[in-house]
Amino acid sequence: WNNICLLSNMEEAFIKSQSTKYNYYPFDFQYYGLGRPYSMTEKVKEDLKTDEIKGDIIVSTDLDVFQDRSLAKHFEESFQKTSSLLPINEFVLKTNIPNTSNYFHPFITIPLVMVINTKLLKESEIPTSFEDLLHPNFKGRYAFGGVHNSAGRSLLKSLWYLYGSNAVESFLSGAVITSMPAQAFQRVMTGQVPVAIVPTIFALRRGIQGLKACWPREGAVAIPSYVAVKSKVATEDFKLFLESILGIDHQIQLKNAGDIIPSHPDAPISSFALENDCSLLYPKWEFFDTFDHEMFYHLCKDYRPF
């Protein structure tokens, strides 16, 4: 399990509460990501040095595991196609988020949007798109966090997909890069920068101290949490996992806490997302077939958080 860092304590509490509700509960959870010894990508790479991916079920917003073809190809060796088991609503289904191979599927999606301090910008200066931030006038005036987590990397890959590698380098050179989205939000809230690119959990603060949330014209950058399950996992066990961990109750809880987009067809979508047609920016899967992740990692190393 490598999921939402800001809500990880809530997630773990939910998971622990579920294990006490069932007489038969065969799941043993291992956690990765922020505050843990390894990220999911590091864990998978270590597993593959010796044999295969060890986890029977993977739930992760660490997207390099699924987007880096050198890693993702291994899901085809020992994991099952799960599209018939994991329902997806019409809003997510119309995006590029569902994987065409059907070896992993979205559980929830975290949108990245812009939060703007209107005290620092004239009405005519307020950006409406990520592309606006590439203008020289915004150099040093926007923050995001950061190059080594899924939020920052998803943002950069999405910009690369839309505007190319030169635009990404320009974006990086003009950005105030923090270690995490929370620090980027702090910069905009305290007036150090007029714009921060952050998950929607921070957009819930809109209307306070002159803060405005903007759903970018390109769509909110999507950070899906994907689920993958090995072929050896019995169907009834995975159905129990869906019911107890990935079901509508947990999805609604995450939606309420962080304005996160659920995948379950019966779960409500936030008003902020609906007002913007739930428009989500996610590269086509063909983009990742040729995307050089090693070159991307090398590029990210050149930009240190402030």
Beta bridge partners of 57: 229
- 129-185 pLDDT, tens digit per residue, is 999 999 999 999 999 998 989 999 999 999 999 999 999 999 999 999 999 999 999
CA distances (Å), 89 to each of 38, 93, 240, 274, in order?
Answer: 32, 6, 20, 13
Q: Which one-letter DSSP state was computed for residue 87?
A: -
The Cα 103–Cα 90 span in angstroms is: 19
- 124-139 pLDDT, tens digit per residue, is 999 999 999 999 999 9
SS3 content of the chain, % helix, strand, coil (to 5): 45, 15, 40
pLDDT of residue 262 exceeding 70, the answer is yes
Which one, of 195, 217, 178, lies nearest residue 133 by Cα?
A: 195
Q: Which one-letter DSSP state was computed for residue 265?
A: T
Q: Which one-letter DSSP state was computed for residue 230?
A: B
The Cα 168–Cα 165 span in angstroms is: 5
Tokens 């209307």 belong to 207
Confidence of residue 96 (pLDDT cuts 50, 70, 90): very high
pLDDT of residue 4 exceeding 90, the answer is no
What's the CA dihedral at 252, 254, 259, 261 to 10 degrees?
-70
The Cα 128–Cα 122 span in angstroms is: 13
- 189-218 pLDDT, tens digit per residue, is 999 999 999 999 999 888 788 999 999 999
Confidence of residue 19 (pLDDT cuts 50, 70, 90): confident
